[in-house]
Amino acid sequence: MIVTDEVTKMTVKPRKAVLEMPEYHPPLAERTALRLDFNENTFSPSPRVMEKLKEITAEGLTKYPEREPAERIAAKHFGLEPEQVLLTNGVDEAIHLICAAFLEPEDEAVVWVPSFFMYDVSVQMMTPNLRRVQSDASLEFPLERFLAAITERTKLVIVASPNNPTGAVVSREHLLAIAKAAPHAVLMVDEAYYHFFGESMLTDVKTVPNLIVTRTFSKAYGLANLRIGMVVGDAELMKFVRKVSSPYNVNGVALDCLPVALEDEKYLAWYCEQVRVGRERVMAGLGELGVPFFPSHANFVLMDIGPKHKELVAAIRAHGVLLRDRSNDPGCEGYVRITIGVEEHVTKGLEALKASLQEIGWSAKA
Ligand code: PMP
């Protein structure tokens, strides 16, 4: 072996797509305050999950995880066949796998904006041909323009319903129309926030061959740190997604906890009701304060703060509450998002919001 002190110049280049794709860096530092910034469950997963975690053994940690038993349980729980279900390392991985399975560099993908930025990242890892269909000022789903953006080259269409960061929803009828308009493309409906809305396309995978639905256990179930999500689709379609996934993509702790989290429907219903009631309180509170907001069907509300958006986020941080500035999202100039959690956290969030708006001298016209 020749050892040299010379610094060799890096000549290795990634794929062109990797050079050009955007990066996603959520503001993760020092999230020790009340977390109303990432749309997480603000409280806890089911107590049964906490009990299950006590059963972790040293030997258990030495073993590679087995995904299939949990997949069978999840399939039964949701009235599906195991072949229609793939568990993933959160929906983030699901998006990645779907793009890897279906997109060639010359293909096109269509997304709605503003929406979840990981769609941009994963699509552009495979192809530069990303068509973004922007909402108008109403932030509602632009159905006509969305349908018009679908071409013969469209291979993937992604719609989050409820959408993030707006909380807007797309009706089942409109989603079915999209699936029909693009039979040569996969329609991915991201139902990460389904539990706070209640309408789903999950069972439509039995009759719509190009539909894929994604669900996360990060939000209502409170398992964001375990990283577990689910992809559901026609068994033939799912074969390709499964093929590009590692057999060990989901850790065994998450796989062990999933069945008990699914079983505890009472806890899930309780948490979702906390959010529904809290969401009404927040929207009413914003109304009283004169803060314009987008009516939400998710566990967050997007507020129109205007030019003082940064000041508000800094001021409320000093009160021990984190909010997410969404001003950089297309069409969201001046918008700040607040997560809705359990009653106590909603109360704290609202009080801190009121005090912070006062401190920064915010007024409805500012
Ligand atoms: N989809 C949407 C619309 C989201 O907002 C998020 C998380 N912010 C995700 C997917 C990612 O979820 P997971 O934690 O399962 O990766």
pLDDT digits (tens, 9 = 90+) for 211-234: 999 999 999 999 999 999 999 999
Is 70 exceeded by the pLDDT of residue 275? yes
> Which residue's entry shows tokens 């190009």?
210
Domain check: are 248 and 287 in the same one?
A: no
Question: Which phi and psi (to 5°) does residue 34 adopt?
Answer: -65, 120
Residues 46-56: b if buried by 16+ CB within 10 A, e if exposed: bebbeebeeee
Based on the fold, state whether residues 203 and 337 are members of the same structural domain.
Answer: no
Nearest to 74 by CA among 240, 298, 228, 189: 228
What average pLDDT does this structure show over 37-58? 97
Give the domain CATH number at 70. 3.40.640.10
How many whole angstroms from 175 Cα to the centroid of ligand 1? 19
* Å from CA of 58 to ligand 1 middle: 31
User: Can you give the pTM of this predicted structure?
Assistant: 0.96
- Which pair of tokens denotes residue 3? 């050892």
Q: Residue 6: is its pLDDT beyond 70?
A: no
Nearest to 127 by CA among 90, 92, 156, 149: 156
> How many CB atoms neighbour CB 207 within 10 A?
10
Do 216 and 278 lie in a common domain? no
The one-letter amino acid at 87:
L
pLDDT at 2: 60
Domain extent at residue 318: 31-42+266-359
Confidence (pLDDT) at 8? 77
Q: How far is CA 113 from the centre of its chain?
A: 14
What average pLDDT is seen over the chain? 96
Q: Does any domain span residue 227? A: yes
Decide if 302 is inside a domain. Answer: yes
Distance 76 CA to ligand 1 centre (A): 23
Q: Which residues line ligand 1 (CB under 6 A)?
A: 39, 90-92, 116, 160, 164, 190, 192, 216, 218, 224, 229
Closest atom, ligand 1, to C-alpha of 217: 15
Among 24, 38, 92, say which to mutate for ligand 1: greatest number of ligand atoms within 8 Å of CB.
Answer: 92
Same-domain pairing of 234 and 341: no
Say which CATH number the domain at 298 has. Answer: 3.90.1150.10
Residue 48 lies in a domain: no
> Measuring from atom 1 of ligand 1, which residue has the nearest CA?
192
pLDDT-wise least confident of 10-19, 50-59, 63-72, 348-357: 10-19
Tokens of 294: 């987008």
Q: Last residue of some domain: 263, 287, 302?
A: 263
Q: Which atom of ligand 1 is nearest to the CA of 218?
A: 14
Is residue 246, in this structure, part of any structural domain at all? Answer: yes
Distance 28 CA to ligand 1 centre (A): 15
- Per cent of the chain over pLDDT 70 is 98
Is the residue at 107 inside a domain? yes
Q: Are 258 and 87 in contact (CB under 8 A)?
A: yes
Cα–Cα distance measured from residue 85 to residue 67, given in angstroms and rounded to the nearest whole number: 11
Residue 64 token pair? 């590679």
Q: Which of 123, 196, 216 to mutate to test the pocket of ligand 1 (most atoms within 8 A of CB)?
A: 216
Do the domain assignments include residue 90?
yes
- Quick one: 198 and 304 in the same domain? no
Q: How many CB atoms lie within 10 A of CB 182?
A: 20
- Asked if 17 and 127 count as a contact pair (C-beta separation under 8 A), the reply is yes
89 pLDDT higher than 80: yes
- What pLDDT is attached to residue 243? 98
User: From ligand 1's centre to the CA of 10, what distance in Å?
Assistant: 35
Kindly state whether residues 290 and 237 are assigned to the same domain.
Answer: no
Break the chain down into helix, strand, coil percent, rounded to 5. 40, 15, 45
Q: How many structural domains compose the chain?
A: 2
Q: In terms of domains, do 234 and 288 share one?
A: no
Same-domain check for residues 229 and 342: no
Do 194 and 307 reside in the same domain of the chain? Answer: no
Residue 21 covered by a domain = no
Residues 214 and 256 in one domain: yes
- Looking at the structure, do residues 168 and 206 belong to the same domain, yes or no? yes
Of the residues 214, 238, 263, the one at which a domain ends: 263
Measured N-to-C along each axis, helices 118-126 and 90-102 cross at an angle, to the nearest 10 degrees, of 30
Helix (H) or strand (E) holding 65: none
The reply to whether 171 falls in a domain is: yes
pLDDT digit string, tens, across residues 106-123: 999 999 999 999 999 999
Residues 6 or more apart whose Cβ sits within 8 Å of residue 153? 106, 107, 108, 129
Among 245, 263, 281, which residue terminates a domain? 263
Q: What was the pLDDT predicted at 1? A: 58
Please provide residue 344's backbone torsions phi and psi, each rounded to the nearest 5 degrees: -60, -40
Q: Under DSSP, is residue 60 helix (H, G, I), strand (E, B) or coil?
A: helix
Prior bond to 165 cis, omega within 30? Answer: yes
Asked whether residue 342 falls in the same domain as residue 221, the answer is no
